[in-house]
Structure 1
Amino acid sequence: MKKTENTPIATRQVFFITTSLLVIIGHFFLIKLFLEWSGRDAWLGMTIGFLLGFIIFLAMAKLNEKLYGYTIVEHFFSWCGPWFGRLLTIPIILYYFILSLITLYGLSIFINSVFLRDHPLWLISIVFSVSVFYMVHQGIEVIARVAEWIIIINILSGLSISFLLRDKKDYSQLLPILENGFNPIIPVIIFTIAVFGEMLVLLMLNVRKESEKSISYIKVYIILFIANLIIFPSTASGPVAIFGEEQAKQLTYPVESMVRLISFGFIERFDIYGLSIMSVSAFLRIALLHYGTSLAISQWFNLKDYRYVNWLLGGLLFYASIRTFDHIVDFYNFLRDYYFYGIISVIFILLLSVAVMIFPKLTSSQDINGEFINSSEVKK
C-alpha cells in the first residue's frame, strides 16, 4: 500500500493534542446547551458522562497500540478490500470534515460576535483557515509539538483564572442537586459521551511508544481521562456559582463571561487573554481534524502526498464555514439536533477494540499484494 504519511508521534503527545480536541467543544460550544438543559445540574451530567465514558479511553489506548503502523482508512482497505473499504470509510471522512466545519465556524463567530464586531465573518474565517492549513502542511509532528506548549500554558491559565475568581463563586447556588429529577441531565450525559467519539481522529495517527521508559498507551489515556474529568464539570459549575442558574442559562459564552469579570493590575480586559488561549486551542483542534480528513482523502484516492488535498479541501472547508450557518442560532440548533450522533463513533470505537482483541489477525495490515505485515513488526 502506498504510504502518504508515516510520521509517528510519541505516546505523551496524545495527552496534549487530545486535550485541545476535547476541551474546545465542551468549554465553548456545548456548555451553552448543557446549561439550558439541566441548569445547575449540568456539572453532574458531565461527570456521569465522563465516568461512563472511561471505557472509551481504554479502548482508544488499545487501538492506538494494536493498529500502529497504518491509519484506520488503510486498515479498512486491508480488511474489506479496496472498494468496499473505501465505501465504509466515507462516513468517517465526513465525520472528520463536519467536526472541522463546526469548529472553524464556532471560533470565527465567537471572535466576530464578542471581540471584532466590525469585521466581516469571512475575513476572520479566512485568516484562521490559512494559518491552520499551513500548519497542517507542515505535518502532524509540528501540530503535536505546538500542542505540548499550548496545553501546558492553558492548564496554568485555567488554574490562575479559577484562583482569581474564587471570591466571586457561591457554590451554594449549585444546590439542591437534582431538584427537577434525573431526566434533565440525560441529554448532557449523552452529549458528553458523544464528545469522546471525536477521538476517532486519533486512529489517523501513528502513536509510538519511543522506548521502554516512555509512558505507556494505557497510562497516557488514563491521565487524559483524569485531567479532562476535572476540566469539564468545572466549566458548568463555575458560571452557575458566579451568575446563578437563570442568568447562566442566558449566556452564549459562559466561560468568556466569567473571564471578563477578572481585572488584574492594569489589565482591565482579561478576557482578551482568554481569547488568545481559546483561539490557539481551537486552532490546534481544527488542525488535527483537518489533518485527519486530508490524510484520509489522500489515502482514499491513493495519492502520494496529502498536502495537495490539504489546500484543496481547505478551500471547501472555508467556503462551507461561511455558507452553512446563517446565524449563531442555526449553529446551536445544528449541535442540538445532530451532535449526539457522535455516539455512533463511540460504538464503533468500542466494537473495533473488541474485534482487535478477539481477532489478532486484524492487527496485521496487508500490502498492495495482499501480504500481511504484523503491526508489531512495523513498530520495530
Structure 2
Amino acid sequence: MQKISNYQLFVLTILFQIGTTIIFGFASAAGRDAWISMLISTLIGIFIISVYLVLMRLHPGLTLVEWYPKQFGKWLGTPIAWLYPLYQIYGGGRMLADLQDLVPTTILPRTPPIFFLTVLMLVIAYGVYLGIETFGRVGEFLLPFFLVLFCTEIILLISSGVVHAENLFPIAGEGLERVLKPIWPVGLTQTFGETVQFAMIWPLVEQQDKIVKTTLFATILTGTVLTLSNIFAISVFGEITFQRSTYPLYSLIREISLADFIENLDAIGVLYFVVTAFFKISLHLFCSIRAIQLLTNSKNSRQFILPVIISSLFMGLTMTDNVASHINGVHMKILAPYFTIPLWFVFPSMLLVVALIRQKLFNQNKG
C-alpha cells in the first residue's frame, strides 16, 4: 500500500479545498462583505473538520466507509457508506461541468468541451492508476507554483493601481443577515465539508500523529487565500460588478496592466484554476475507487478505474446546459439539502455521538 508524507497531505488538502471555489464567487451574495462570509465559513469549517479528525482518532487505521459499519452495524452502516463513493463520482462530474463552461469561455472558445475534458480524464485515470503517491509528488511541485502565482497576482494588482480599498466599506453596512446568507450551505459544503473525503486518505499518511496539525494548518491557509481573493476582487470591481460576475476571481487577473507590458494574463489565470480543479477531481475519484474496493472486499482497485472515470465524464458532459442552471439548479435545490448536508454533517455527527457512547461504555465495562 502506497504512503504519502505529511507535507504531501498538506499540499493535497489545500489544492482540494481550493478546487473550483476560487473560480466562482460563491460568497458574492454578500456583496462587499463576501470576504467576511468567507472568513466565517473558514472558522466554522475548522470546527467541522476537527469533528472529522476526532472520528479519525476514534477509528485508527480505518477509512470513512469503514467507520459506519463498525458503529452502525453491517445492515445500516454499509448502505450509508456506499453513498460516499457514489456522491464522490458525482462530485468529480460536477467539477468537470465547472471546467466545461470556464475553459471555452476563456482560452479555448473553438475547442469542443468533450475533447479537453476527455484528455483531462485520461490524465486523471493514469494518475489514479499510479496511486496516491503520484498525486502527492505532483502536488509538492505545483503548490509552491500556485502560491507564488497568487502572491505575484496581488503585487501586480496593487502596482496596476486598480485596487480601491474604499469599495470594502461600510463593513456589514446592510446587516449580518446578508453576511450569513452565503455561509449555509454553500460556504461550508463547497470547500470545507467535502474534506471528510480525506478520511479515505488519512490511513495512508506515514506520520499519523501529525495529521491533525497538518490538516488544520492547510485549512487555515486555504481560508486565507480565498478570503484575500474576495477582498481584492471587491476592491477592484466594487460591489455591483463583483456580484454580477460569473467568474469574479478569474476576471480579477484580466485587470492587471502594468506599463502596457504586463497584461493579458488570462491564460495564466485559467492555468492555475485548472490545476486546482484537476486535483479536486482526481481526489474525488481516487477516494471513490478506494471506497468501492473496500466495500466490495476486492484485492485490486484498478478494475474500478475505467467505470468510475467514464461515469464521471458522462455526468460532467450532460449535467447542465448553462452555467446558471449548473450553479443554482439541481445541486442547490435537491442535492445540497437532501444529500450533501446529511453526508457531510448529519451522519458524521451521529457517528461521533454513537462512537463516543460506545467508547464510554467500553471503558466502564473494562474498568
- Equivalent residue of 2:23, what SS? helix
Query: Which residue matches 1:348?
Result: 347
1: CA distance between counterparts of 2:360 and 2:172? 48
| Range with greater deviation from structure 2 (329-338 or 45-54) | 329-338
Query: Which residue matches 1:85?
Result: 77
Query: Which residue matches 2:218?
Result: 224
Are the counterparts in 2 of residues 7 and 206 from structure 1 also a CA contact under 8 Å? no
Are the counterparts in 2 of residues 112 and 124 from structure 1 also a CA contact under 8 Å? no
- How big is each residue's C-alpha offset from its partner over 1:220-264, in whole Å with a ceiling of 9 and x where there is no partner? 133123212211212222211101111112211111111122246
- How big is each residue's C-alpha offset from its partner over 1:187-227, in whole Å with a ceiling of 9 and x where there is no partner? 2121222232101111112446645xx97223213312321
The Cα shift of 1:362 comes to: 11
Per the normalisation by structure 1, the TM-score is 0.85
1: CA distance between counterparts of 2:354 and 2:2? 26
1: CA distance between counterparts of 2:335 and 2:80? 21
The Cα shift of 1:336 comes to: 3.8
Are the counterparts in 1 of residues 56 and 62 from structure 2 also a CA contact under 8 Å? no
Query: Which residue matches 1:156?
Result: 148
Q: Which of 38, 59, 64 is the aligned partner of 2:51?
A: 59
Q: Which of 3, 27, 32 is the aligned partner of 1:34?
A: 27
The Cα shift of 1:42 comes to: 1.0
Are the counterparts in 1 of residues 106 and 266 from structure 2 also a CA contact under 8 Å? no
For 1:349, give the aligned amino acid.
Answer: P
Are the counterparts in 1 of residues 15 and 276 from structure 2 also a CA contact under 8 Å? yes
Are the counterparts in 1 of residues 162 and 255 from structure 2 also a CA contact under 8 Å? no
2: CA distance between counterparts of 1:77 and 1:183? 40
- The answer as to 2:168 corresponding to 1:174 is yes
C-alpha change, 1:116 and 1:283, in structure 2 (3 Å) is same
2: CA distance between counterparts of 1:162 and 1:268? 14
C-alpha change, 1:343 and 1:84, in structure 2 (3 Å) is closer
- The answer as to 2:123 corresponding to 1:131 is yes
Query: Which residue matches 2:245?
Result: 251
2: CA distance between counterparts of 1:34 and 1:331? 16
Are the counterparts in 2 of residues 49 and 192 from structure 1 also a CA contact under 8 Å? yes
- The aligned length equals 353
Query: Which residue matches 1:105?
Result: 97
1: CA distance between counterparts of 2:310 and 2:361? 36
Stretches of structure 1 lacking an aligned partner (at least 5 in a row): 1-5, 364-380
For 1:152, give the aligned amino acid.
Answer: P
C-alpha change, 1:293 and 1:277, in structure 2 (3 Å) is same
| Range with greater deviation from structure 2 (147-156 or 255-264) | 255-264
Q: Note the aligned Cα RMSD (angstroms).
A: 2.5
2: CA distance between counterparts of 1:12 and 1:358? 34
1: CA distance between counterparts of 2:361 and 2:123? 38
- How big is each residue's C-alpha offset from its partner over 1:133-152, in whole Å with a ceiling of 9 and x where there is no partner? 11111111111221122122
Are the counterparts in 2 of residues 96 and 290 from structure 1 also a CA contact under 8 Å? yes
Query: Which residue matches 2:20?
Result: 25
Query: Which residue matches 1:371?
Result: none
Give the percent of matched residue pairs that are identical in Structure 1 and Structure 2.
Answer: 24
C-alpha change, 1:61 and 1:189, in structure 2 (3 Å) is same
The Cα shift of 1:289 comes to: 0.5
The Cα shift of 1:361 comes to: 9.0
C-alpha change, 1:355 and 1:159, in structure 2 (3 Å) is farther
Are the counterparts in 2 of residues 10 and 209 from structure 1 also a CA contact under 8 Å? yes
For 1:346, give the aligned amino acid.
Answer: F
| Range with greater deviation from structure 2 (336-345 or 224-233) | 336-345
1: CA distance between counterparts of 2:162 and 2:61? 50
